[in-house]
């Protein structure tokens, strides 16, 4: 009978000390709800490989867990696919240089200036294009016929390509 009482009493298992701490049902449920959320997130990213039979041991503290892995997160401690473990070089190889960003910004400003020369409603057109509207919707907003606006935009795009160089 004493064994049945011990099984029905909710507890929290602390993996670090191996203790089973008696708690109320509400405390138990709240603790393991958060631990499950953390474990699910870690499993989705391939960082938790805890076997199902030991899930009751999971307390959501992944740092010292024997079943915690690197997963899809780059780390300075874990070698990358090319064998290096230098996170800076891995990320910086794909990042644009500051010069590229500045050159793109200058080009964009030149394109906007040319569009403003070609059409007095350029600022509105730029804003509507930035909002993802189609040429038809932009033509409606400007009060122009769709075909006329499409022909104008074709001409504008040809002019803007000259600035870009292709």
Domains in the chain, number: 2
pLDDT in the model for residue 90: 46
Give yes or no: residues 129 and 114 share one domain: yes
Give yes or no: residues 103 and 87 share one domain: no
Give yes or no: residues 26 and 84 share one domain: yes
pLDDT in the model for residue 83: 52
**Bridge partner residues of 22 (DSSP):** 11
pLDDT in the model for residue 100: 81
Query: Which uninterrupted H or E stretch holds 11?
Result: strand 11-14
Give yes or no: residues 68 and 139 share one domain: no
Regions in the chain scoring below 70 on pLDDT: 1-7, 70-95, 165-166
pLDDT in the model for residue 4: 47
pLDDT in the model for residue 82: 56
Assess contact for 39 and 50: CB atoms under 8 A.
yes
pLDDT in the model for residue 5: 46
Which range of residues forms the domain containing residue 120?
98-164
Measured CA to CA, the distance from residue 24 to residue 9 in angstroms comes to 8
pLDDT in the model for residue 10: 85
What the block records as the tokens of 150 is 């499409």
């Amino acid at each position: 009978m004493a064994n049945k009482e011990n099984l029905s009493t909710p507890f929290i298992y602390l993996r670090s000390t191996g203790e089973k701490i008696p708690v109320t049902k509400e405390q138990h449920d709240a603790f393991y709800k958060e631990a499950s959320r953390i474990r699910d997130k870690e499993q989705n990213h391939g960082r938790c490989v805890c076997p199902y039979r030991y899930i009751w041991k999971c307390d959501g503290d992944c740092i010292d867990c024997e079943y915690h892995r690197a997963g899809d997160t780059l780390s300075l401690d874990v070698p990358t696919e090319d064998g290096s473990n230098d996170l800076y070089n891995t990320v910086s190889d794909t990042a644009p240089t500051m010069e590229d960003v500045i050159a793109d910004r200058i080009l964009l400003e030149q394109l906007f200036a040319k569009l403003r020369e070609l059409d007095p409603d350029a600022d509105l057109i730029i804003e509507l294009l930035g909002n993802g509207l189609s040429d038809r919707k932009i033509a409606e907003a400007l009060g122009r016929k769709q075909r006329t606006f499409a022909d104008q935009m074709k001409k504008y795009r040809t002019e803007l390509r000259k600035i870009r160089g292709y």
